[in-house]
């Protein structure tokens, strides 16, 4: 018995999810480069690469360093899918990384950032991909501007290999994923044309998120970067991207309080994360009680309301399985995942890149 | 230069905040038992105890273990202000803790939990306090039921020393803190009477949160347990509990993108936390640009909107100081705080109880 709360992984479901997305990418004729920010975990990266992933996506230099330390020397094929602002200190870290990877690609989305990259990384074996805003309005340039960024980088002697986007506005109800996938394809298509007009072949045309990946096709994309799919989470269930049966990670929690149809468990925001988009129905879900809703969350309390006269209301002391809203932020709160393998044994999988924010 | 993003503490402000709350408690004639879940940090606990705190509050057994390891042998005076469900494994940990503390008090809020405590902790030198729901409707019994819990515990041979509540419904706009403080006093007053009617003197009557503490008086309370006050955060600024000048912790972040009046910085939910109550104006604030709002947050991006033609819009590559909405969850995301002391030197303060959820 492990003291609650802790994060438990169902390895059979995890492996099934990894295979299913690998199969989907193969069928669609696109390469799969999973986003490792979700799991930050060697054992899961290994399974993704064994299933055919061409490499990994990461969000930070620190995550890249963790995976390079883990993978066989010189083998890591990494894409830092972020518009890095490269200071001299970060430049030194990137040069060290480049020397230890088979391929290191970096994101860029401004002429000023190109200048920093040129100052730090000329003659370093890195490639660049221009980030395009396909509708999330976070980072990335308008598709029409991609050629300017790419040609400026080329003039500075940097090696531009393509374009990428994150269709994050697909995280929404109804047809949001379909529309975001359409926006993604259009933005990458325009941006690719702009690169070609600047004499740069966009060999890499990278997109995809877990909810949009089924609508993204190989007519534009060469590569997809979903992150959440090995685990899934309550957001994905509510988006309809997966069923509860596909959820491979839960917080195991204990009921510490019950008043009528309300129970409180000992997993709060410090293990579930506090993500709560407006379109979800609560702060997470219960794996085995689909009618329950987590109506409020504190650091060490989740308040769960059940329908009146529900037969599922757990007694004090019961262990329940809470599905986090956003698994990427939940995993980043723990040092280890308790991985239950198909033969019933439990392994401790370190979250080796936990907290690698810079 | 430290690579961004990271959490920076202004030690002069921290010490001023610690002194101010210690003075307030002294003036009010109540004991101060700061909630160490906020900082999880030895250097801050030491300063709170040096300023006159009678002991520390913690939320979990794991946090208690971390502070007992740090403090001089046998000196720790700890209150685990949580309705623990004590399994045999947790019972063993609590017995080990009790042997190493000067005082160990535990929360309880059900007869069933009393039974578990009796099974594990009879003849162990621990005390109990009954948790009362003063209006947050999270854990705790109604004030009228406190006597039943207390007398049941006494019958089992356990040592009940009082009552406690967390007026968490004081986290809200307008007069919410004042009304929550009134509810707190009423609930503790009724619960104390119920204990007395059961022949148990409520020596401990513990309450208080950072926003309500100025409205809580010694006519009922013997002890207050605020947590956030050493640092403060964007929630406290927006509640009016403090000014920006009182904020002692920021995330130092770099501007990685700018489009018009929108900038994006590299501090996201994995360092700021994702707490966003409905009554706050965004996902955090900028310390030096009060008119800016963080309108969306991803794991490694905060999207910040400035008023049109604001002179404060920072250029690409600028370092900015982001005030998290809820500092307790931000601190729990990092291994170390970068503490800048009044003489300008920087110390690395480990967040030693980070992730101690169980």
Is the CB of residue A112 less than 8 Å away from at least one CB of chain B?
Answer: yes
Q: What is the mean pLDDT of residues B24-40?
A: 96
Which residues of A, range 41-80, sit inside 8 Å of B by Cβ? 59-61
Of B332, B62, B333, B274, nearest to A273 by C-alpha is B274
Chain A positions touching B329 (Cβ under 8 A) are 269-270, 274, 299
CA-based nearest residue to A307, from A320, A323, A295:
A295
Choose the closest CB to B357 out of A93, A270, A273.
A270
- ipTM, two decimals, is 0.97
Among B residues 317-336, those touching chain A with beta carbons less than 8 Å apart: 317, 326, 328-329, 332-335
Residues of chain A with Cβ-Cβ distance to B303 below 8 Å are: 137-138
Q: By the CB < 8 Å criterion, does B138 face chain A?
A: yes
d(CA A272, CA A284): 8
In our burial notation (b when 16+ CB lie closer than 10 A, e otherwise), range A27-43 reads ebebbbbbbbbbbbbbb
| Residue B127, beta-bridge partner list | B105, B159
Q: Give SS3 for B174.
A: coil
What band does B211 get if pLDDT is binned at 50, 70 and 90? confident
CB contact under 8 A, A355 and B332: no
Whether the CB-CB separation of B211 and B170 falls below 8 Å is answered with yes
| Residue segments in chain A with a per-residue pLDDT below the cut of 50 | none
**Spatial separation of the C-alpha atoms in residues A255 and A322, rounded to whole Å:** 11
Contact with chain B for residue A91, Cβ under 8 A: no
Q: Which of residues 200-229 of A touch B (CB under 8 A)?
A: none
CB contact under 8 A, B270 and A357: yes
Q: Please judge whether A333 and B333 are an interchain contact, meaning their C-beta atoms are less than 8 angstroms apart.
A: yes
Interface of A with B in 286-305 (CB under 8 A): 296, 298-301, 303
Q: Are A36 and A29 in contact (CB under 8 A)?
A: no
Contacts of B333 in chain A (CB under 8 A): 332-333, 355, 357
pLDDT attached to residue B111: 97
User: CB-based contact (8 Å) between A260 and chain B?
Assistant: no
- The pLDDT tens digits for A199-248 are 999 999 999 888 888 887 778 999 999 999 999 999 999 999 999 999 99
Burial environment of residue A341 by CB neighbours within 10 A (0 to 12, 13 to 18, 19 or more): middle
| Segment holding A182, helix H or strand E | helix A176-197
Decide the pairing of beta strands A302-305 and A262-265: antiparallel
In terms of Cα–Cα distance, which of A79, A66, A20, A61 is closest to A39?
A66
CB B199 within 8 A of CB B168: no
- Of the candidates A328, A326, A256, A325, the residue with the CA atom closest to the CA atom of residue A286: A325
By Cβ distance, the residue of B299, B332, B333 closest to A59 is B299
In tens, the pLDDT along B51-87 reads 999 999 999 999 999 999 999 999 999 999 999 999 9
Structural contact between residues A255 and A238, judged by C-beta atoms closer than 8 angstroms: no
User: Cβ contact (<8 Å) for A300 and B82?
Assistant: yes
> Virtual CA dihedral for A9, A10, A12, A16, nearest 10 degrees?
-70
Confidence bin at B212 (pLDDT 50/70/90): confident
Q: How far apart are CA A186 and CA A355, in angstroms?
A: 35
d(CA B24, CA B34): 13
Pairing of strands B204-207, B159-164: parallel
Tell me the shortest Cα–Cα distance from B5 to chain A, in angstroms: 6
In this complex, is the C-beta atom of B4 within 8 Å of any C-beta atom belonging to chain A? Answer: yes
Asked if the C-beta of B257 comes within 8 angstroms of chain A's C-beta atoms, the answer is: yes
Write the pLDDT tens digit of every residue in A171-184.
998 899 999 999 99
- Give the mean model confidence (pLDDT) for residues B33-58: 98
Q: What is the pLDDT of residue A311?
A: 86
Of B300, B301, B334, the CB nearest to A355: B334
Q: Which residues of chain B make contact with A60, given a CB cutoff of 8 A?
A: 300
The residue-averaged pLDDT of B119-138 equals: 96
Closest CA to A285 of A299, A265, A300: A265
Res B213: pLDDT: 80
- Rounded Cα gap, residues A317 and A322, in angstroms: 15
Suggest the residue from B137, B318, B319, B358 to mutate for an interface test with chain A (most A CBs closer than 10 A): B358
User: CA-CA distance, A217 to A219, in Å (whole number)?
Assistant: 6
């Amino acid at each position: 018995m492990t003291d609650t709360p802790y994060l438990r992984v169902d390895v059979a479901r995890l492996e099934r999810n990894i295979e299913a997305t690998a199969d989907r990418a193969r069928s669609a004729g696109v390469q799969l480069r999973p986003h490792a920010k979700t799991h930050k975990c060697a054992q899961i990266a290994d399974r993704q690469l064994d299933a055919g992933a061409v490499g990994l996506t990461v969000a930070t230099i620190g995550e890249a360093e963790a995976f390079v330390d883990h993978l066989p020397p010189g083998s890591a094929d990494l894409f830092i899918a972020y518009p890095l602002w490269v200071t001299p200190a970060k430049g030194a870290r990137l040069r060290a990384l480049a020397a230890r990877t088979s391929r290191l690609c970096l994101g860029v989305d401004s002429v000023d950032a190109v200048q920093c990259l040129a100052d730090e990384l000329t003659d370093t074996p890195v490639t660049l991909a221009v980030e395009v805003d396909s509708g999330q309005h976070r980072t990335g340039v308008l598709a029409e501007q991609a050629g300017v960024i790419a040609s400026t980088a080329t003039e500075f002697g940097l090696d531009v290999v393509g374009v990428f986007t994150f269709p994050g506005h697909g995280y929404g109800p109804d047809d949001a994923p379909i529309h975001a996938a359409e926006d993604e394809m259009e933005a990458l298509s325009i941006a690719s044309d702009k690169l070609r007009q600047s004499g740069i072949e966009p060999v890499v045309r990278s997109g995809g998120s877990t909810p949009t990946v089924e609508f993204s096709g190989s007519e534009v994309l060469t590569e997809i970067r979903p992150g959440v799919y090995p685990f899934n989470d309550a957001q994905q269930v509510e988006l309809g991207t997966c069923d509860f049966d596909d959820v491979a990670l839960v917080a195991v929690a204990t009921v510490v309080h019950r008043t009528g149809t309300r129970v409180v468990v000992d997993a709060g925001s410090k293990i579930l994360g506090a993500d709560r988009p407006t379109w979800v129905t609560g702060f997470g879900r219960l794996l085995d009680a689909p009618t329950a809703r987590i109506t409020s969350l504190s650091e060490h309390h989740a308040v769960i309301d059940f329908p009146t006269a529900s037969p599922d209301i757990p007694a004090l002391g019961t262990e329940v399985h809470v599905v986090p809203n956003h698994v990427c932020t939940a995993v980043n709160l723990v040092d280890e995942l308790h991985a239950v393998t198909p033969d019933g044994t439990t392994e401790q999988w370190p979250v080796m890149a936990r907290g690698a924010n810079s």
